[in-house]
Amino acid sequence: MRPAAARRRGAALIQALLLLVVATAVAAGAAARVQRTVDATVLDRAEVTAAAAASGGVELARAALARDAAWTGGTRTLGGSEIEVRVSAGASDAERHVVVVARAVRATQRVEAELRLDAAGLPRVVAWREED
């Protein structure tokens, strides 16, 4: 083999290895971006799940208070979310302060609601505040 031909083959090998390194770096960057997108999607879904569970906790309190005005709350598990409901007396005998903390896989949602008891039917929601 002639020395010039050997150098050309060596140069081609170095170019091929450099191209492989660049392609690997691009692929690693793309994989990292995809992973960040997946993580953000999972977190978004957990936040939506926690918010829905917290809202459901207020509805649970409304239904329970319609049956028993002395109900003070409890803990439930619903669809993988843990919902803690606490009910305390409000500003008057006809009002209740409800605090719901819902925990999904990677998110927590807290809702505070003021309910007004109604003689016929579900208590009315008169105030609502959410915290992440």
* Between 7 and 103, the higher pLDDT residue: 103
Question: What is the predicted pLDDT for the residue at 7?
Answer: 66
Q: Whose CA is closest to 126, among 90, 100, 83?
A: 90
**What pLDDT digit, counting tens, does each position of 103-127 carry?**
988 899 999 999 999 888 899 999 9
State CA 51 to chain mean position distance. Answer: 8
Which tokens is 62 given? Answer: 């409304």
**What pLDDT digit, counting tens, does each position of 61-77 carry?**
999 999 999 999 999 99
Candidates 3.90.550, 2.70.70, 3.30.70, 3.30.1300; correct CATH number of 3-131? 3.30.1300
* pTM of this structure: 0.73
> Which contiguous run of DSSP H or E holds residue 112?
strand 108-116
CB atoms near residue 72 (< 10 Å): 14
Domain definitions of the chain by residue range: 3-131
